[in-house]
A and B are shown apart, each in its own frame.
Chain A
Amino acid sequence: MPSSLDRPPVSPPPGRAIRGSPDLPPPGAPRRIGYVYVLPALLVYGTFAVVPLLHAGWLSFFSWDGVSAPTWVGAENYQQLVADPQLQGAFLHSLVLIVFYSLLPVAIGLLLAASLSRLPIRGLTVFRTILFLPQVIPMVALAVVWRLIYAPDGPLNQILGTLGLGSLGHPWLGDFVWALPAIGAVGTWVMYGLAMVLFLAGIQKIPSSLYDAARVDGAGPLREFFAVTLPGLRNEIVVALVLTMVAALRNFDLVYVMTRGGPGNATDVPALEVYIRAFQVGDVGSAAAVGTTLAVIIFALVIVVQRLVEERLT
């Protein structure tokens, strides 16, 4: 059977393109050559993400100081992890941070996006840029600045004093009650810009006919938000929740720079424990066990969020 390549190079007859040739697979069908295209990215991803992750998982079954030969200990690192009340506290703090890093920013982002898209505001781009700005500043720089803001003589307490609310002042980062929310508030401030930009982009994608229909049906702004905007942003909400939850759970830089887990262990988080165990205590196996557990929790949470949001909104 002559293949298309054997044919003389003549232009195909009108109305019949080469891709219609019976010898080639239908357009869009997977072809093996595709793997070659993704190979470079796959190699980089595999070398720097998948292999280290699996390696860390493997290490979590050993007792290893980072230098001498590791000893296999089975699940012992995980058993100790479950029995360690300080580590339970650290994971609990992570859950609190999810509220600040994820739920609050998504709520604020929705509110801002819905109002910014409805109201004809002059200089919208400027507003959007300013609100998004915390996202592009390195976390460590933010942490240093917020450490100053929260200092006992810092701007926050000074402002409270000026307003005659000096009695509400605290040594924020040294307060056993307020330190964790103080760090969380920084997370909220950093994350809501991301959520807002995602939602603004999502709203533009919603057909304006839906809004017209809602208005013709006599829906107010609130009804319109719940009936049109919110369902239309389903995918963006999933993305925003996933990104911010991952950020909340792997939070290290803010805590390390601002409080080192203090006062006491009031702001201890799992990622800080990974760092302390691996680089300060010299217990790499235990550090890997905490890291792997964290990775599994993040993975499970992402799946749950995807399921929940998609089901509830469809």
Chain B
Amino acid sequence: MQTNFTHHQSAHCENGVASNLLKHNGLDISEPMVFGIGSGLFFVYLPFLKVNYAPAISYRPLPGQIFNKLAKRLGLKIKRQKFASEANATKALDHNLKNNIPSGLQVGVYNLSYFPDEYRFHFNAHNLVVYGKTETDYLISDPVMENVTTLTHKELDKVRFAKGAFAPRGQMYYPIQIPEQVDFKSAIVKGIKNTCRDMLAPMPIIGVRGIRFVSKQIRKWPIKNGTKKANHYLAQMVRMQEEIGTGGGGFRFIYAAFLEEASKILENKELENLSKEMTVIGDLWRDFAVEASRVYKNRSTKADVYNTIADQLLYIADQEEIFFKKLKKVIS
């Protein structure tokens, strides 16, 4: 069985699944719109949590939040289910496919056989859509892939029940109700306000302050942990930042695209200017990644290089603080 689902590639998995599922249900919404209204831009530094033996830095909110916020702000209803047993999870998915409902799944990346081996890590916040089933395979639309692909029944079971942090527990979701009239204007305003609040939050580990905190830590890494570990931390940071559309530069460009689209819908010229400013900040993030990669590539042992990139990060934090304060003013 197969549903008449159309695959569109996206930069980030959760945006992509949301946008693709909504398009399938007759609501034409772009990836940047999903990202902006769902307040996908975020920053949090969790030094006490280690991922791949390095402190965790997340450039995105918790998995599922973008779609949930988007739904709330547009007045859509999404059904989300988690399962205790693999058999029930399979049954529910098959039932959906029989009723022509392509379904979003949260999955672990490690057993996704269509990813190159280097990308297979125990990371559980990936999203994809299942749009059909054959004797042996499930038909998969993974939004970060150019084309549709497949997973065997056993492989899909495995990725749905991957273990570890953010274990998906078979999580399945799909829109069940979409109103005839959707108010994009108020949803955009709510989404932007939320992002400004997050990025300017008065908390040391979140948003602009979180970025400053990391910058401070980078200066200490080589002294406290030695260059080898410091380089590893830095490489991990760049990976979380730039891998498959998540984080630093990539996210800023999606957000800039959102602001450009929003400026047309809200008929607010100021947002278009801010879109251009966000593009500049995105380029700064990319410059940071280039500099950081030089540090761990040459395995430079001078403590000075860490100060240089820490300064760079500090500059980004300053620019973002100015930016989000402006954005907050424009929207209120």
* A, B assembled together: no
Footprint of B on A, CB under 8 Å?
Answer: none
Footprint of A on B, CB under 8 Å?
Answer: none
